[in-house]
Amino acid sequence: MRYYSYEEFVKDIKELSKRVGECDAVVAIARGGLTAAHMLAEALDVRDIYAIRAQSYQERQKVGRPIIGEIPKLDAKRVVVVDDIVDSGETMREVMAALSSQNPKTRFVSAALFYKSTACYRPDHWLKKADEWIEFFWTKDVNDTHDR
């Protein structure tokens, strides 16, 4: 298991923003991509940020084919779609297909902090390979409190 800290995250978002470049909007894959998408939008100075719901895991168990919902209708030329990790690749693949179908005139690019080389979908932009379970600070730090 690998802990992914806030300090590492900030450095990575700055690097990811350089790789992604200019865009008109950011779409977060909820829930995992929400924190990364918000920070990426800040780094890119993009005000138009949306979320799409995708559920692939319950706890640490895969639920089968990802369930996609709340697909935004966008009025943008170039949009970056962000998730924390492309694990199996099924979620990103399904999200990209759903967004493209709903918004045929928009160019979508995908981005993730982590990517598993065994995934069925390779994001356009990614920073690190994932060889083990990643404990993101936004999950671990909130759940490791003594005041619950």
The CATH code of the domain that includes 11 is 3.40.50.2020
**DSSP secondary structure string for all residues of 93-112:** HHHHHHHHHH-TTSEEEEEE
Of 31, 30, 49, residue with least CA distance to 39:
49
Number of domains into which the chain is organized: 1
Q: Which residues contact 100 (CB under 8 A, 6 or more apart)?
A: 106, 108
Tens of pLDDT, residue by residue over 103-114, are 999 999 999 999
In a domain, 90, yes or no: yes
81-96 pLDDT, tens digit each: 999 999 999 999 999 9
Using CB atoms within 10 A of its CB, is residue 113 exposed (0-12), middle (13-18) or buried (19+)? buried
Structure tokens at 39: 């920070």
Tell me the pLDDT tens digit for each residue of 26-56. 999 998 999 999 999 999 999 999 999 987 6
Q: What is the rounded distance in angstroms from the CA atom of residue 54 to the CA atom of residue 66?
A: 6
CA distance 112 to 10: 14
Residue 131 has pLDDT above 60, yes or no: yes
Percent of the chain at pLDDT above 90?
A: 79
Q: Give mean pLDDT, residues 123-130.
A: 97
Asked if 79 and 106 touch (Cβ cutoff 8 Å), the reply is: yes
DSSP SS3 for 134 = strand
Q: Is the pLDDT higher at 59 or at 80?
A: 80
Question: Is residue 31 included in any domain, yes or no?
Answer: yes
| ∠ Cα 71 141 134 (to 5°) | 65
Domain contains 84: yes
Mean pLDDT of 63-83: 91
Whether the bond into 47 is cis, omega within 30 of 0 = no
Which of 73, 59, 69, 68 shows the shortest CA–CA distance to 102?
Answer: 73
Containing domain of residue 131, as a range?
A: 2-143
Q: Is residue 66, in this structure, part of any structural domain at all?
A: yes
Residue 148 domain flag:
no
